[in-house]
Amino acid sequence: MKFFSVFTIDPSAPPAPPDPQMYAAMGALIKELMDLGKMLDTGGVMPTGVSVRVSRAKGSTSVTDGPFAEAKEIVGGFALFDVASKAEAAALTERFLALVGSGTCTLYEVSPTPTQRE
């Protein structure tokens, strides 16, 4: 089963300075999970100031450059897991959150593409 994890931070929380120990622990966790084949990809996300939102409604498409002031939460990163169960994906996510200290991860199960269903 594949799960897409989206990590969000509260924009009202004061930004924490970079913590070299946390980044080292994060690197070790990522290496461990990738070596086990449980994490397929991961990365941080650039701030909304360099983001673009593409929307489509009523037959019209609009493109809006960030920053997006109305955001109640900010995406900070993502991970793509390949695990045996939702419980395993949640357990791995708990390990990540224990390192970063605060934030929320939302796990989305990834449905197979049409070619994977055959």
Domains of the chain: 2-46+72-111 (3.30.70.1060)
8 A C-beta contact, residue 3 and residue 42: no
Q: What is the pLDDT of residue 70?
A: 66
- Residue 75: is it exposed, middle or buried by C-beta count within 10 angstroms (0-12/13-18/19+)? middle
Query: pLDDT tens digits for 49-104?
Result: 778 888 899 999 999 887 776 667 778 899 999 999 999 999 999 999 998 888 89
Q: Is the pLDDT of residue 118 over 60?
A: no
pLDDT confidence bin for 19, thresholds 50/70/90: confident
Smallest CA-to-CA distance from 1 within 84, 93, 80, 117 is with: 84
Q: What is the pLDDT of residue 117?
A: 58
Q: What SS3 state is found at 9?
A: strand
Q: Is the pLDDT of residue 29 over 80?
A: yes
8 A C-beta contact, residue 1 and residue 86: yes
Q: What SS3 state is found at 10?
A: coil
